[in-house]
Chains A and B, each alone.
Chain A
């Protein structure tokens, strides 16, 4: 028996009952559509989180003091007042660390920024010029401050877009203007490119950047630094860079082997993987739910195929009488089931693509349809068809032709 003939027979049988074939497919269509759309949502949110995190500077390493390192066991201090990080640490890193290509101290203070009659509460962060490299943050306008500005504690600053929007009239050019932060005048020399919200929902553009010396002396009046930002050479070396950084700081802080770190090193890569694994879990969960609906679709196929075999008992008897072998009947019903499941799969993929598109357009959730989810759905569909179609087909093939012909 030629396979071609069997496929022809199966297709004609399906054509004779288009509506039923479609209704049988519906379970698969919805199942596959759900798989594609769910995985697309999972992948989309994963990708958008990754994008956001890497927009913060993908190789960025952050060092903060440990607040529980206060000697004497007294009350824990606010992190910003712990004084373990110093400019000597920065120098040590610059001189000794090989996997680090940029490092910047950071101190920050909250305050009111005033331009003429307009004011706005914001944060001023004191950093070195390298900070913009570490954060992967270009300027929209103007120039960054220089090392001389740092050395001279110059009263210059870079302004974030949110601050611009709140203290300048639309159309005003902030570059060259002087504003006041906590009553101290700062000259704006550049505007930061817009970054939007970070992964935690904080507005990254609500900021002023100034030389760290300026902020240390004129705003906070502190000699120590609060945070160290550094960047690894590339993402592959970020692990090595982290370890190296810890070692350099331990040496610089003269910690003995028995003593614990008095600082905490965080990498962006760590954050990314934490978030990725959360959204990975989400993807798996969504896929599992969708997979169950695919299973239900498969059972639907099996159910309808059983009904179909019973209903078409007489047809099966006739086919056997005119020479169909058991295997021919088996293949016919199996092919019918596979055609149903694969056609359902194709329609399901289209539905899934459409649903993903609609979700992005109307709910503005990020979605990402992955090729692997499409291929997987197809494979699962074919297997579903074979698996759930086999038993009804086998039942059909084992009918006795005489009894089948007599069936009413």
Chain B
């Protein structure tokens, strides 16, 4: 039996908008095991981002339980949540969110700066390793504006990997990229998953979901479908089948 990374039970999240209450999550339950590649699907407004924020310890549920790596997060303080994010979670955002005018390697080192147990030397080594994993070892000193969108997202993925998290969370990580680059990024995620990374990937594009091992579909804040993917597409093969273009 694989270790459970995520266990959520009857998770609810409500937002108060003046006198109105918006129920973004209306009781969501599932668990994610170590090594899974889960996509969370659903149309816009279905509660994907809200769910991911809770999974990433950026937000707390209004009701229900959430165990991250067997730690109940309900009673943790703001600082403890920050520490949990720093040690256990890797985030990848739609808009990369790299620090401008800051080299790739420094961007990748950033999470480790907030971990005082890591020495300068070790920090550098870990960042190099993470950039190697996304195959950007030759772009260490490039600034974000000297990198393509796909390369920037790979730097962001390296930043998510650098602290060796128990789980990588991605919110529409291919949303800003053309389809070819999207496939490249998905190929990278598949590769990382093969190496044992647990990945939760939010998307509203059905063809992206085909690359994952499991798809959870949300609608109006509820899980309407949760299925293992029997034949996972290989992003690498899809890429190879694409007509070659100048890159």
Contacts and interface: CB of A to CB of B under 8 A. Distances in A.
B101 A323 contact: no
B97 A405 contact: yes
A71 B165 CA distance: 106
A320 interface: yes
A346 B97 CA distance: 35
A110 interface: no
Nearest to A408: B95
Nearest to A406: B49
Interface stretch (A44-52, A131-139, A264-272, A324-332): A324-332
The 5 closest A-B pairs by CB, nearest first: A323-B86, A322-B111, A16-B101, A323-B114, A325-B82
A325 B83 contact: yes
A319 B110 contact: yes
A314 B97 CA distance: 8
B58 interface: yes
Contacts of A319: 110, 114
A324 B97 contact: no
Given A2-B116, A5-B116, A314-B97, A323 B53 contact: no
17 contacts: A2-B116, A5-B114, A9-B113, A12-B106, A16-B101, A17-B101, A315-B99, A318-B93, A319-B110, A321-B91, A322-B111, A322-B114, A323-B83, A323-B85, A324-B86, A326-B79, A402-B58
Contacts of B145: none
A1 B112 CA distance: 10
B205 interface: no
Given A12-B102, A12-B106, A401-B58, A323 B115 contact: yes
A322 B158 CA distance: 13
Given A322-B159, A323-B83, A323-B87, A8 B113 contact: yes
B97 A323 contact: no
Interface string A8-35: 1100100011000000000000000000
B56 interface: yes
Contacts of A12: 102, 106
B72 interface: no
> Interface residues of A toward B: which range?
20 to 34
Given A326-B78, A326-B79, A321 B85 contact: yes
B59 interface: yes
A402 B59 contact: yes
A1 B116 contact: yes
Nearest to B82: A325
A1 B53 contact: no
B47 to A, nearest CB: 14
Nearest to B88: A323
Interface string B69-95: 000000000110011011100010100
A6 B130 CA distance: 23
Interface string A378-405: 0000000000000000000000011001
> Interface residues of B toward A: which range?
20 to 34
A327 B159 CA distance: 22
B74 to A, nearest CB: 18
A323 B82 CA distance: 5
Contacts of B159: 322
B100 interface: yes
Nearest to B87: A323
A241 to B, nearest CB: 69
A316 to B, nearest CB: 11
A325 B58 contact: no
Contacts of A5: 113-114, 116
A348 B56 CA distance: 47
B114 A328 contact: yes
A321 B159 CA distance: 12
A16 B85 contact: no
Nearest to A16: B101
B79 A325 contact: yes
Nearest to B83: A323
A377 B53 CA distance: 47
Given A315-B99, A401-B58, A402-B53, A324 B114 contact: yes
A249 to B, nearest CB: 80
A12 B100 CA distance: 11
A322 B116 contact: no
Contacts of B163: 323
Contacts of A325: 78-79, 82-83, 114
B101 to A, nearest CB: 4
A318 B144 CA distance: 15
Nearest to B53: A402
B78 A405 contact: no
B148 to A, nearest CB: 20
A1 B114 contact: yes
A405 B79 CA distance: 18
